[in-house]
Amino acid sequence: MAEAGINEAQTAAAPPAQDTTDGFHLVIEALKLNDIDTIFGLVGIPITDLARLAQAEGMRFIGFRHEQNAGNAAAVAGYMTKKPGVCLTVSAPGFLNGLTALANATTNCFPMILISGSSEREIVDLQQGDYEEMDQLNAAKPYAKAAYRVLHAEDIGIGIARAIRAAVSGRPGGVYLDLPARLLAQTIEAAKGRQSLVKVVDAAPRQIPAPDTVERALDVLRTAKRPLILLGKGAAYAQADAPIRALIEKTGIPYLPMSMAKGLLPDTHEQSASAARSFVLAESDAVLLIGARLNWLLSHGKGKTWGAPARKRFIQVDIAPTEIDSNVAIEAPVIGDIGSCVEALLEGLGSDFPKPPAEWLDAIAQRKAQNLSKMAATLAKNPAPMNFHSALRAIRDVLKTRPEVNVVNEGANTLDYARSIIDMAQPRKRFDSGTWGIMGIGMGFAIGAAVTSGTQVVAIEGDSAFGFSGMELETICRYDLPVCTIVFNNNGVYRGTDVNPTGGPDVAPTVFVKNARYDRMMEAFGGTGRHATTPEELTAALAEAIASGKPTLINAVIDESAGTESGRLTNLNPQSAATKK
């Protein structure tokens, strides 16, 4: 593209004269000064040289095939490390592609910074039609926790400091940083540049809860007959694993992990009430929420799920005061960072804290035993072709022996069944569709998790879900990442058996090409492709993939009639919702 050539030349990072520096260098130095060592992104005007420079200066630049996946990788890196993950994109379309990931990060409370190159203010504001022109700052604002633009090279240090602080302090979220092309090429005195950089001190300060709020919370817990602790991904993010475990074990209170809090305590822990989830949600009388919002994933804290009309007493530990009373009244809010709040609760327990009544624990144990034996019977079946259960049993058997493996999971049925069948033994190892129930996080999260941890990732993907980010298989191969993707191939969205009732030439809206060979996509990039039609083949292929640590895709053939519409969310489809009313 001719115009591209001209523009690229205008912004190229020619080494500045000895005693001067430029925007490119200041951005990279500011990030490095704050211990950010990786950028996930996709190059083009005006940021190609920024990526090159990052690499030259010892940072990792992980290049993607679509910005949404780069953004998702950055977001998951932020969630794993409590440092903002950084995603770099070009202007307008590249920025918009990344914006979905930024919005998803904000929704999930993951710290990330989307840095996009942009056109000059003068042209954008007069709408004069620049190459990839867009008012990106204003477009980002509704979807980000904060959005900033830097216009002068001497403000780059402050701009990056503000972005980091906004991303990780308080409730974490996505931050947008707008860097106009001209800023990157701006030169200033090197000494002035150095002085302008900011090393952020204590980016996410501890927030100690007020003592009376801790006492109020303990009073509710002490008087409860059927207490329950609910751990959300905020609790996993907080990296307060030891105090959280101590609180649970010292009080003896049964707990439920939300999907990404699985592994905070091993799912096999005897106080886990996961196998009696509906029972404990409905029957508990007091619930301590730790880093979990009462949103749709928890039926908004009301209704039949929660045993209405009985009244539930809620204690909520969260860093965001405005979260309290979002859906139902919270009797005992405890506002602060989870580490500090849980430690304060622990200290306040005293030696006379009553154990939960035996009837409550017995009732849960009984319900768990019943449900587990039902599940064991279902898992033991060996239908041909495989269904979700028999395939997940095969995966579970391998992962049981590899607790260090990171698990990425999306789809409808694939997500719902994997969440309950695949146990997690370590914290922050499960990454999924999260608060939005979004499809498309798969390969971005898998790459982000592999790059950040340097350890094996297994992505368990519905075939539809996989399609949103499937081209990143090339990225996985290019960086030779230890990612094994398992595609649950049932020929469509939810399942593959729908028919178009009109008899017209098009297939039904949920149906894909039959018997697709996703494993061959992987082979196209030099990775290993496997085709599994039985649990034995799946177990063998997965064990081999993990042992090799090489990019692998397993095409797992699932009965195309096995899924249900929207998995467990059938009731959210407007028709079902209307019938219910």
439 touches ligand TPW (CB under 6 A): yes
- CA angle at 555 for the pair 549 and 557, rounded to the nearest 5°: 140
Binding mask 140-179 for ligand ADP (x = CB under 6 A): -------------------------------xx-------
CA-to-CA distance for 74 and 86, rounded, in angstroms?
Answer: 5
Q: Can you read off the two tokens belonging to residue 212?
A: 């009376």
Q: Which does residue 109 bind out of ligand TPW, ligand ADP, none, counting CB within 5 to 8 angstroms by kind? A: ligand ADP
Among 72, 272, 413, 435, binds ligand TPW (CB under 6 A): 413
Q: Tell me the window of 53-61, 193-201, 293-301, 503-511 that interacts with ligand ADP (CB under 6 A).
A: 293-301
Using CB under 6 A as the binding rule, whether residue 385 contacts ligand TPW is answered as no
Element (H, E) at 431: strand 430-432
Closest distance to ligand TPW from the beta carbon of 464 (Å): 3
The binder of ligand TPW chosen from 272, 456, 490, 555 (CB under 6 A)? 490
* Maximum Cα interatomic distance, the chain, rounded to a whole number of Å: 77
Q: Rounded to whole angstroms, how far apart are CA atoms 12 and 43?
A: 13
Window contacting ligand TPW (CB under 6 A); options: 45-53, 65-73, 116-124, 458-466: 458-466
Nearest approach, Cβ of residue 546 and ligand TPW (Å): 22
Positive or negative CA dihedral for 501, 502, 503, 508?
negative
Binding partner at 439 among ligand TPW, ligand ADP, none, C-beta below 5 to 8 Å by kind: ligand TPW
Rounded CA Rg of the chain: 25
- CB–CB of 172/109 below 8 Å? yes
Amino acid at 425: A
- What's the order of all strands across the beta sheet hosting 60-63? 60-63, 38-41, 85-89, 112-118, 174-180, 146-149
CB-neighbour burial class of residue 63 (10 A; exposed 0-12, middle 13-18, buried 19+): middle
8 Å CB contact between 313 and 224: yes
| Residue 464 makes contact with ligand TPW by CB under 6 A | yes
- Cα-based angle 78, 80, 82 (whole degrees, multiple of 5): 55
Min dist CB 261 to ligand ADP, Å, is 6
Q: What is the CB neighbour count within 10 angstroms for residue 575? A: 9
Does residue 318 interact with ligand ADP by CB under 6 A? yes
Residue 411 binds to ligand TPW (criterion: CB under 6 A): yes
260 binding ligand ADP? (CB under 6 A): yes
Could you tell which of ligand TPW, ligand ADP, none binds residue 356, using a CB distance below 5 to 8 A set by kind?
Answer: none
- Concatenated DSSP letters of 75-126: HHHHHHHSS-EEEEE-SHHHHHHHHHHHHHHHHHT--EEEEEEE--HHHHHT
Tell me how long the chain is: 581
CB nearer to ligand TPW: pick between 222 and 517: 517
* Pick from 217, 211, 317: nearest CA to 261: 317
Only one of the segments 117-125, 137-145, 290-298, 514-522 lies at the binding site for ligand ADP (rule: CB under 6 A); that segment is 290-298
Q: Nearest distance from residue 257's CB to ligand ADP, in Å?
A: 8
CA distances to 112, 536, 579 from 542, rounded to whole Å, are 32, 10, 43
Given candidates 406, 414, 435, 552, which one binds ligand ADP under the rule CB under 6 A? 435
**Structure tokens given for 423:** 């146990």
Tell the smallest beta-carbon distance from residue 333 to ligand ADP (Å): 12
Asked if 286 and 227 touch (Cβ cutoff 8 Å), the reply is yes
Task: Name the 3-class secondary structure at 6.
Answer: helix
Q: Which residues pair with 317 in a beta bridge?
A: 290, 334
**In the bound complex, what is the minimum distance in angstroms from residue 47's beta carbon to ligand ADP?**
30
Residue type, 84: P
Q: Which partner in ligand ADP, ligand TPW, none is near 337 (CB below 5 to 8 A by kind)? A: ligand ADP
112 binds ligand ADP, rule: CB under 6 A: no
Q: Which of 47, 70, 101, 109 binds ligand ADP (CB under 6 A)?
A: 109
Residue 338 touches ligand ADP, criterion: CB under 6 A: yes
Nearer to ligand ADP, 105 or 137 (CB): 105
492, β-bridge pairs: 511
Picked from ligand TPW, ligand ADP, none, the partner binding residue 260 (CB below 5 to 8 A depending on kind) is: ligand ADP
Q: How far is the CB of 89 from ligand TPW (least distance, A)?
A: 19
**Closer CB to ligand TPW, 291 or 448, in the complex:** 448
493 near ligand TPW (CB under 6 A):
yes
| Interface region with ligand ADP, contact rule CB under 6 A, candidates 8-16, 31-39, 233-241, 362-370 | 233-241
C-beta closer to ligand TPW: residue 439 or 522? 439
Using CB under 6 A, which of the segments 23-31, 317-325, 343-351, 419-427 binds ligand ADP? 317-325
Chosen residue from 156, 319, 334, 487 binding ligand ADP by CB under 6 A: 319
H or E segment to which residue 389 belongs: helix 388-399
Pick one of 462, 470, 482, 529: the residue that binds ligand TPW (CB under 6 A). 462
Report the phi/psi class of residue 312: left, alpha or beta, with left for phi > 0 and alpha for psi in -120 to 50. Answer: beta
Three-state DSSP at 210 gives: coil
Q: Does 258 bind ligand ADP (CB under 6 A)?
A: yes
Site size for ligand TPW (CB under 6 A): 18
557 sits in which H/E element = strand 552-557
Residue 237 is a binding residue for ligand ADP (CB under 6 A): yes
Q: Which does 293 bind (CB under 5 to 8 A by kind): ligand ADP, ligand TPW, none?
A: ligand ADP
Residue 402 exposed, middle or buried by CB count within 10 Å (0-12, 13-18, 19+): middle
Rounded Cα gap, residues 176 and 349, in angstroms: 42
| Shortest spacing between CB 169 and ligand TPW, in angstroms | 29
- Tokens 């993951």 locate to 110
Give residues in contact with ligand ADP (CB under 6 A). 108-109, 171-172, 232-234, 237-238, 258, 260-261, 291-293, 295, 297, 318-320, 323, 337-338, 435
Give residues in contact with ligand TPW (CB under 6 A). 411-414, 437-440, 462-465, 488, 490, 493-494, 563, 567
